[in-house]
Amino acid sequence: MLRVESVSFAYGDKKVLSDVGFELAEGEVSSLLGVNGSGKTTLLKIISGLLKPQKGKVIVDNKAIEEIGSQGLSKTVAYMPQKTNGVFCTVFDAVLLGRKPHIGLEVSGHDIETTSRIINMLGLEHYAFKYTTELSGGELQKVVIARALAQEPKILLLDEPISHLDIKNQMEVMRLLVDITKTMNLTTVIVLHDLNMAMRFADKFLLLKDGEVYAYGDRDVVTPQAIRDVYRINVLVAQYMGLSVVIPELS
């Protein structure tokens, strides 16, 4: 579904990504892990077409994204940036905006119905006509996810979607993302800083170190050694009720 081939990128002289390559399947949540500045956000922006790599390419459905074009890409890939502030529009209008790539001259009945369906699916119906500036952080994050889903994308890219949320909202949003990935058969890539959230909810793990892929695979790749190499911190990976739990060492 999504293939990244030997992608390299630099901001001026500063090399950010170097020869990054991997392939992601449908119906899976992949978490992008690495220290600040390791190139996670840049990689997400390259996949979404916001940045152009100096070398390599991104293939979606066997087509390079340059061939798909910005309009076509907006129907295939939905991107959610790190931080979102509310806007003086209602939740319904914010989600309807996700239909923009599909809207012709005017909003169609299908656009309105799709918006309503997604609002219901994400449980936003009780505040559908509230302004998004009046929402809590968790509610707003769900609205942004709903807008992304209204694009009817095949690939969902999220940059730290739970960083500003409390633990309850973090759990809710992550559960939601896993559910929609499975039910809508999406390819979802999430940048996460919380290793435990990643271990709990992601199917695949891509560890970036200094702009290069350190490891990619399922839970087995997230070993104490890998975390030590990538994050430069000693950890224990313990098992608790069938879950892998990452515990940083105090020393």
- For binding to other proteins (CB under 8 A), which residues are involved? 45, 48-50, 70-71, 73-74, 77-81, 84, 87-90, 92-94, 96-98, 100-101, 103, 112-113, 115-117, 119-120, 125-126, 128-129, 131, 133, 151
**Least Cβ distance, residue 225 to other proteins (angstroms):** 35
Rank residues 25 and 129 by Cβ distance to other proteins and give the closer one.
Answer: 129
**To the nearest whole angstrom, how small is the minimum distance from the Cβ of residue 247 to other proteins?**
35
Can you list the pairs that 102-110 forms with residues at least 24 positions away whose Cβ atoms lie under 8 Å? 102/75, 102/151, 102/152
Residues 99, 33: Cα–Cα separation, whole Å: 31
CB 11 within 8 A of CB 165: no
Instruction: Give whichever of 53 and 230 is closer to other proteins, judged by the CB atom.
Output: 53
CB of 88 to other proteins, least distance (A): 4
10 Å Cβ neighbour count for 75? 15
Angle at which helices 137-150 and 109-121 pack, to 10 degrees? 140
Q: How far is the CB of 36 from other proteins (least distance, A)?
A: 19
Radius of gyration for the chain, computed over Cα atoms and rounded to the nearest angstrom: 18
Pick between residue 159 and residue 213 the one whose CB is nearest to other proteins: 159
The one-letter amino acid at 78: A
State which residue, 73 or 191, has the beta carbon closest to other proteins: 73
